[in-house]
Amino acid sequence: MHRPESDGRTVKPVTITIDAMSGDRGAAVVVAASLRAVRENEALSIVLVGIRSELEALLREGHARIRIVEAADVVRMNERPSHALRHKKNSSMAIALSLVRDGEAQGCVSAGNTGALMAFGRTIIRMYPGIERPAIAKLIPSLRGRCHVLDLGANVDSTAENLYQYALMGSLMASAICSQAEPRVALLNVGEEEIKGNEQVRLASHMLAQCDTINYIGYVEGSDLFRDVADVVVCDGFVGNIALKTGEGVAGLLIELMEQAFTRNLYGRLVGLLARPIIGRLLQLMDPSRHNGASLLGLQGVVIKSHGNANERAMLSAIRQAVREVELEVPRRINERLDDLMLLVPETKVCPGLATHSRIIGLTCTIG
């Protein structure tokens, strides 16, 4: 059933399930953000998964488009993914993902243990055929737009094949989310020269250069992430997570320094008052909580990883991201294009200078 909007258009209803118990700040933040989300979006319904008594107490009078599903257990932040898989099948995280698998919701949001979310996602929702590992992808602000960066922590170690697959999925994601026909794809490296980087990065670069379906532009450095040099930047999860957290830390520092400068004395307060509209726009651009919500690409469903320490505004941002991906049918669009691309089997290529043999979907790269 489609709900009518005030202008006569119809909007397809969207149901998002939320792992309400796994974040650092507890269920109160999730409930508050959920209430704001359903109030601003009449087509949205939310399923909160967690301890019913705690969630009902926080909801108080409830809401017609928010319901609760009981979960007996919670995956802790310090819990090993393998332990969670074996012993936490009735956790809020596992049940939330199961609701997506069973068609009761179109997307899932969790602020919980990243490794466990990836492990449960692979087991419950499943991967795209041929994709080895999911990757965490996030849109970060840049000078003239936003840039998709992946992997941001799903896989600490990534092979050249993994990096190639991240690039493929990231390119398709940018096309689906930002309607970019040929997104510029780059590898994050310690320099722009071809000789720079470790063996896996250099091999991935060669593989991408041989792929006609990706608009590969070469290497970029960390400072290029925010300069609109590329639309998609690919790296392993270890590098990506450090880059992301460093960027968030710098943004937080700048916000704090600006607040101090404009509140220190009368002159600063006067300048701050005059510049308030500009400062407000800058703060919105830099505030990490307004950009919270990273996609777990590679799964056959919408799964959004929220920052574990997300506040209400940040959790609301993650919910909005999930809704947007559901409305744009991102998993279906990526899966369809992947199916098309896998039919293309390029000839075997010889990659000079490396001593590795690498095999990937539709591409064999023999190095000697």
pLDDT at position 60: 85
| % of the chain with per-residue pLDDT over 70 | 86
> What pLDDT, in 10s, does the model give residues 233-265?
999 989 888 888 888 787 778 778 877 877 888
Residue 360 covered by a domain: no
pTM for the whole structure: 0.81
User: What integer best gives the mean pLDDT of the chain?
Assistant: 83
Reported as a single tens digit per residue, the pLDDT across 106-135 is 999 999 999 999 999 999 999 888 888 889
User: Are 57 and 25 a contacting pair, CB within 8 Å?
Assistant: no
Number of domains the chain contains: 1
Between 252 and 88, where is the model more confident? 88
Residue 84 lies in a domain: yes
Picking from 351, 349, 330, 7, the residue whose alpha carbon sits closest to that of residue 169 is 330
pLDDT in tens, 218-227: 999 988 888 8
Domain annotation covers residue 134: no
- Whether residue 214 is contained in a domain is answered as no
CA within 13 Å, CB half, 90: 5
| C-alpha atoms less than 13 angstroms from C-alpha of 44 in its C-beta half-sphere | 26
Is it the case that residue 232 has pLDDT exceeding 80? yes
Indicate whether 55 belongs to any domain.
yes
Residue 269 belongs to some domain of the structure: no
* Contact of 167 with 216, CB cutoff 8 Å: yes
Sign for the pseudo-dihedral over CA of 238, 82, 295, 64: negative
What are the structure tokens assigned to 160, written together? Answer: 């050249």
Dihedral angle, C-alpha 121, 123, 127, 133, nearest 10 °: 80
* Inside any domain, residue 169: no
Residue 347 banded pLDDT, cuts 50, 70, 90: very low
Kindly tell me if the per-residue pLDDT of 210 is higher than 80: yes
- Output the pLDDT for position 283: 67
Domain carrying residue 62: 1-125+292-328
- Residue 302 in tokens: 């919408």
Mean pLDDT over residues 147-165, rounded? 89
Q: Residue 236 class from Cβ within 10 Å (0-12 exposed, 13-18 middle, 19+ buried)?
A: buried
The answer, yes or no, to whether residue 351 has pLDDT greater than 70, is no
**Which of 221, 224, 219 is closest to 143 using CA atoms?**
224
Confidence of residue 342 (pLDDT cuts 50, 70, 90): low
* 275 assigned to some structural domain: no
CATH number for the domain harbouring residue 28? 3.40.718.10
- Place 3 in a pLDDT band, splitting at 50, 70 and 90: low
How far is residue 152 CA from its own chain's centroid? 8
- H or E stretch covering 135: strand 135-142
- pLDDT, tens digit, for every residue of 271-327? 777 777 776 776 666 666 777 889 999 999 999 999 888 899 999 999 999 999 999
pLDDT for res 249: 81
